[in-house]
Chains A and B, each alone.
Chain A
Amino acid sequence: MSVTERLNRPAVTAGAAEAVRPQRKRGGRALLHGFLGLTALAWLLPLLWAFYTSLRPYAETARRGYLSLPGTLNFNNYATAWRDADLPHFYWNTLVITVPALVLTLLLASFVAFGVSRFSFRFNVALLMLFTAGNLLPQQVIITPLYRLYLLIPLPEFISDTGSLFDTYYGIIAIHVAFQMGFCVFVLSNYMRTLPNELTEAAMVDGASVWQQFWRIVMPLTRPALAALATLQFTWIYNDFFWALVLMKSGDRRPITSALNNLEGVFFTNNNLIAAGALLAAVPTLIVFFSLQRQFVSGLTLGANKG
Chain B
Amino acid sequence: MSVAASANKPRQDRRRRLLTRRDVLTLGLMLGIPTFIHVLLVWGPALSSIALSFTRWDGIGGLDTIEVIGTKNYRDIATIYPPFYPALRHNIYWLLFFIGVATPAGMFMAVLLDKEIRFTRFYQGALFLPVVLSLAIVGFIWQLMYAPEQGLINNVLGRTSQANFIDWLGDPSINLRAVLVAASWRHVGYIMILYLAGLKSVDASLREAAAIDGATEAQTFFRVVFPVLKPINVVILVVTVIESLRAFDIVYVINKGTNGLELLSVLVTNNIIGEASRIGFGSALAVILLIISLGFILYYLFQTFRKEMR
Interface of A with B (CB < 8 Å)? 1, 6, 9-10, 13, 17, 29, 32-33, 35-37, 39-41, 43-47, 49-50, 53, 61, 65-67, 108-109, 111-112, 114-116, 119-120, 124-125, 127-134, 136-149, 151, 174-175, 177-179, 181-182, 185, 201, 204-205, 209-211, 214, 235, 238-242, 245-246, 257-258, 260-261, 263, 271, 274-275, 277-278, 281-282, 285-286, 288-289, 293, 296-297, 300-301, 303-306
Give Cα distance in the complex from A125 to B305, angstroms: 8
Are A67 and B308 in contact, with the CB atoms below 8 A?
A: no
Per-position binary interface string of chain B over residues 239-256, scored 1 when its CB falls under 8 Å from any chain A CB and 0 otherwise? 000100110110011000
Give Cα distance in the complex from A205 to B14, angstroms: 10
Are A141 and B211 in contact, with the CB atoms below 8 A?
A: no
Residue from A130, A246, A275 in contact with B269 in the complex, judged by beta carbons closer than 8 Å: A246
- Assuming the A-B contacts A39-B109, A136-B293, A278-B137, are A49 and B144 also in contact, with contact meaning beta carbons closer than 8 angstroms in the complex? yes
Can you name the residue of chain A whose Cβ is closest to the Cβ of B37?
Answer: A178
Are A44 and B129 in contact, with the CB atoms below 8 A?
A: yes
| B79 part of interface (Cβ distance < 8 Å) | no
Query: What's the A-B contact tally at a CB cutoff of 8 Å?
Result: 310
Give Cα distance in the complex from A140 to B252, angstroms: 13
Q: Is the interface of A mostly helix, strand, loop or mixed?
A: helix
Are A140 and B289 in contact, with the CB atoms below 8 A?
A: yes
Are A128 and B38 in contact, with the CB atoms below 8 A?
A: no
B31, B38, B287: residue with the most chain A Cβ atoms closer than 10 Å: B38
| Interface locus among B22-30, B92-100, B167-175, B219-227 | B22-30
Residue from B44, B211, B236, B242 in contact with A145 in the complex, judged by beta carbons closer than 8 Å: B44
Task: List residues of chain A with CB within 8 A of the CB of B231.
Answer: 305-306
Question: Can you name 8 A-B residue pairings with CB atoms under 8 Å?
Answer: A6-B205, A66-B151, A142-B46, A147-B272, A204-B18, A261-B136, A288-B132, A289-B132
Q: Is the interface of B mostly helix, strand, loop or mixed?
A: helix
Task: List residues of chain A with CB within 8 A of the CB of B141.
Answer: 46-47, 50, 275, 278
Interface of B with A (CB < 8 Å)? 8, 12, 15, 18-20, 22-23, 26-27, 30-31, 33-35, 37-46, 48-49, 52, 59, 109, 112-113, 115, 117-119, 122-123, 125-130, 132-137, 140-145, 147, 150-152, 155-156, 160, 185, 189-190, 193-194, 197-198, 201, 204-205, 208, 211-212, 231-232, 235-236, 238, 242, 245-246, 248-249, 252-253, 264-265, 268-269, 271-273, 279, 282-283, 286-287, 289-290, 293, 297-298, 300-301, 304-305, 308-309
Are A115 and B27 in contact, with the CB atoms below 8 A?
A: yes
Are B194 and A300 in contact, with the CB atoms below 8 A?
A: yes
Task: List residues of chain B with CB within 8 A of the CB of A240.
Answer: 134
Give Cα distance in the complex from A304 to B300, angstroms: 12
Are B117 and A33 in contact, with the CB atoms below 8 A?
A: yes
Chain A nearest Cβ from B307, distance in angstroms = 9
